[in-house]
Every structure is written in structure tokens, then in C-alpha cells.
Amino acid sequence: MQLTHIALWTTDLERSRTFYITWFNGKSNEKYVNPTKGFASYFITFDNGIALEIMQRTDITASFPDNRIGFTHIAFSVCSKEAVDHLIDKFSEAGLSIPSTPRFTGDGFYEGSVLDPDGNLIEIVAHKEVEIKPATSYPYPLLLLADPEQEKVDGYLKNSDCFVATLNGQTVGVIVVQKQSEKTAEIMNLAVDESFQRRGIARKLLRYITNQWAATAYITRLIIRTGTSAPGPFMLYQQEGFDLKNVEYNYFVHHYKEPIFENGVQCRHQLIMEKVIPDPTETF
């Protein structure tokens, strides 16, 4: 089960639509109009697929008071503390109302807020940065999220480097990389705790390997493999510079004892992707 959309009443449909498209990179559908009820609406969809339905009706014009029971704000996450500062500065320069300037909160967020044209509170948040370091012990619950057969995991761990992402002392992500030749390495496992997904942790782990580990190991070619039943990782790897090089059909059917299901779909085929990294030893 996942959240699909939330809804807001507005006094000016076009003004609200412009606000959420301009400031939050929303994508709007065509306007729906029901003239009998004096009703009109748009769905504004954001990068993670969640949508905001903005609605207007001729007989609904009153605002709720502050500090009432019920929904009180929505929040958009950005990649860093600096991104929060930048966006709040832009809001301020545009003359928008800023109820709270950026600050660290007790629950580990860095956040500021802005009011939309109808006075609805919107928080801009960045999660506390994770720390990435070599693993002192193997986090099997995470490793088995990405590769469900422990025998296979144990087989490559002994010849690989394993790094973990920690947050407030808790291990929330893991990445395993294995050198295949003098210049080539393969990312064997990448997983993030389900409670901490959609926070950019997988992306940070990938960039750690690409930008730091690969340079010290003199690696110029990285390989990563994923299944066709998980479109999210495939999109992430492309965004991080990996290109699709080959497909091994029915790989997961032939090489795993039990069927693997993701998103209600059996994982059957394996996608092989590759990223070329500039050789740090070359001089120009």
C-alpha cells in the first residue's frame, strides 16, 4: 500500500497550480471541471509519483483556523542542508511568507517552511547526513534484502569490500564491491533499510564507491546488475551514469532456488549495466 495523493481546497485554482509547478517541479494534468457543482481541479504530480489534488468550488471559500485537529502541513525533501537554505532564500526573494527559517529539529531534520498562496504550511526538509565507513561486521538482514540467498552472499563477501551507511549509530544501508580485474570492479550488493528508503542513501553509497573507493583502487570500469522487476534501481543507476550493456534472460529463474517477487512481479531477467570512470593515473 502506498500514498497516492492528498487534496487541498484553494480560492484560486490557477494561482495554486502555478505555485506548485514553479517551485516544486510539479507536473499538471488537464483541468477537470464539473459546472453543475461549480467544481474544478488539477492533479499536480511530483518526482516520487505522489500527487497533490488542488480543488476549487464556488461555495467553499472559508479557511480553517491555525492549530486545528487534522492535517497541518505537507513536506518536500531535498538532498542537503544547503538545498534547504537555497530554496528558502529563493522563496524569501520572491516575497513569499516564511514562517520558519532553516534550523535543525530534535528529530534529526534540517528544515524551513513557506506558505503557499492560500496560507497552507509547506516544510522543506533534509535528512541528517549518513556516515559511510567500512563494515566491521556484515549486516545480513540488509544484504539479504538485495540478494535473498545467503550462500551466494557469503560466496562473494570473502573477496569483496563492504561499506555501511550509518545514521545515529544505526546501520541503514550497505554496499559490497568486488574487484574483477586490474581496472574493473563489480557492485555485488546494494541495499537500504526499508524504513530509510527514498532518502538518497543508495545514491550516496553509489557515489562513495564511484568517487572515493574507485580512485584508491584505480578502477575505471564499474559493473552493476539488477532485475527487471525493480524499475526504481534501474532508473537510479542510469541517473548515476550506468549504461545498459546486456540482458541475461531468465537469470533469476535458473540461478536461484526460490522464485523472487518484487512489486508483485516475478524477477526473471538480469540487466547488466556499466559505468566508465576517468582513470586517475592519466594526465593530460
282 is a domain residue = no
Which pLDDT value is given to residue 66? 73
Domain range for 238: 131-276
CA distance 207 to 58: 51
Amino acid sitting at position 84: V
pLDDT tens digits, residue range 17-67? 999 999 999 999 999 999 999 999 999 999 878 999 999 999 988 887 777
Same domain, 49 and 160: no
Residue 281 inside a domain? The answer is no
Same domain membership, residue 17 and residue 94: yes
Residue 185 domain-assigned (yes or no): yes
| Same domain? 68 vs 150 | no
Query: Is residue 61, in this structure, part of any structural domain at all?
Result: yes
Instruction: Please tell me the predicted confidence (pLDDT) of residue 67.
Output: 73
Say yes or no: 83 and 153 in one domain.
no
Verify that 101 and 146 share a domain, yes or no. no
Query: What's the rounded mean pLDDT across residues 196-201?
Result: 84
Q: Calculate what percentage of the chain has a pLDDT beyond 70.
A: 97
Residue 217 domain-assigned (yes or no):
yes
| Domain shared by 69 and 118, yes or no | yes
Residue 136 lies in a domain: yes
CA distances from 10 to 41, 50, 85, 199 (A): 9, 19, 27, 30
Which of 74, 107, 127 is where one domain is finished? Answer: 127
Asked whether the predicted pLDDT for residue 284 surpasses 60, the reply is: no
pLDDT at residue number 192: 96
pLDDT of residue 281: 63
Both 261 and 143 in one domain: the answer is yes
Same domain, 204 and 153: yes
pLDDT value at residue 222: 97
Q: pLDDT grade, residue 173 (50/70/90)?
A: very high
Phi, psi angle pair for 227, to nearest 5°: -95, 160
Measure the CA–CA gap between 222 and 188, rounded to whole angstroms. 11
How confident is residue 280, by pLDDT bands cut at 50, 70 and 90? Answer: low
Q: What is the pLDDT of residue 271?
A: 96
> Model confidence at 3, in pLDDT bands (50, 70, 90)?
confident
- Predicted confidence (pLDDT) per residue in 201-233, tens digit: 999 999 999 999 999 999 999 999 999 998 889
Q: Are residues 118 and 233 in the same domain?
A: no
| Residue with the three cell numbers 516544486 | 24
Residues 82-92: pLDDT tens digits?
A: 999 999 999 99
pLDDT at 147: 93
Last residue of a domain, one of 92, 109, 127: 127
178 and 163 in one domain? yes
Tell me: the pLDDT tens digits for 110-168?
Answer: 999 999 999 999 999 987 788 999 999 999 999 999 999 999 999 999 999 999 999 87
Total-model pTM: 0.67
Residues 115 and 148 in one domain: no
Residue the block writes with cell 494561482: 15
- Is residue 179's pLDDT more than 80? yes
245 and 149 belong to one structural domain: yes
Structural domain ending residue among the three candidates 101, 127, 153: 127
The CATH number assigned to the domain holding 223 equals 3.40.630.30
> Domain holding 73: CATH number?
3.10.180.10
Lowest mean pLDDT among 4-18, 53-67, 237-251: 53-67
- Within the chain, where are the H helices? 13-24, 81-93, 140-146, 150-157, 201-208, 214-216, 231-239, 251-255
Q: Is 252 helix (H, G, I), strand (E, B) or coil?
A: helix
Q: What mean pLDDT value characterizes the chain?
A: 92
Query: How many domains does one find in the chain?
Result: 2
More confident residue, 14 or 71: 14
- Taking 80 as the threshold, does the pLDDT of residue 2 lie above it? no
